[in-house]
Amino acid sequence: QSVLTQPPSASGTPGQRVTISCSGSSSNIGSNTVNWYQQLPGTAPKLLIYSNNQRPSGVPDRFSGSKSGTSASLAISGLQSEDEADYYCAAWDDSLNGQDVFGTGTKVTVL
């Protein structure tokens, strides 16, 4: 069902940099902004990055986002144990009368 493709897992040791990719198409990432959400176990997703690279108030600056063409990336620099979570990209899709679409999700493990 998920329209945007992410790697199922990523990992790193504390202090390392981890990057998560999100691949879409011209009808979603290619023509709209990308948002990222962090989901801790048993909780609702939380907004992490909006409009490709903007951080909401309270989100540490070790989280950053970028977009190029029909792909986007989330980077976590200075990885911390509390960053262990699922991460999802999302974008508006202009096809099918328009609707929000999400990525398949990436589980980040801190080794």
Partner 1 sequence: QVQLQQSGPGLVKPSQTLSLTCAISGDSVSSNSAAWNWIRQSPSRGLEWLGRTYYRSKWYNDYAVSVKSRITINPDTSKNQFSLQLNSVTPEDTAVYYCARVVGGYDPYFDYWGQGTLVTVSS
Q: Which residues bind partner 1 (CB under 8 A)?
A: 1-2, 32-33, 35, 37, 43-47, 50-51, 56, 88, 90, 92, 96-105
Choose between 37 and 79: whose C-beta lies nearer to partner 1. Answer: 37
Ordered strands of the 18-23 beta sheet = 18-23, 71-76, 63-68
- Of 71 and 88, the one with the shorter C-beta distance to partner 1 is 88
Is residue 39 a contact partner of residue 47, using CB atoms and an 8 Å limit? no
Nearest distance from residue 13's CB to partner 1, in Å?
Answer: 28
Q: Least distance (Å) from partner 1 to the CB of residue 32?
A: 8
Q: Which of 37, 21, 108 is nearest to 69 (CA)?
A: 21
Burial classification of residue 96, based on how many CB atoms lie within 10 Å of its CB (0-12 exposed, 13-18 middle, 19 or more buried): exposed
**From the CB of 18, what's the least distance to partner 1, in Å?**
21
- Return the number of the residue (51 or 109) whose C-beta is nearest partner 1: 51
* Closest distance to partner 1 from the beta carbon of 83 (Å): 19
- Of the candidates 110, 104, 106, the one whose C-alpha atom is nearest the C-alpha of residue 38 is 106
Closer Cβ to partner 1, 12 or 50, answer by number: 50
Residue length of the chain: 111
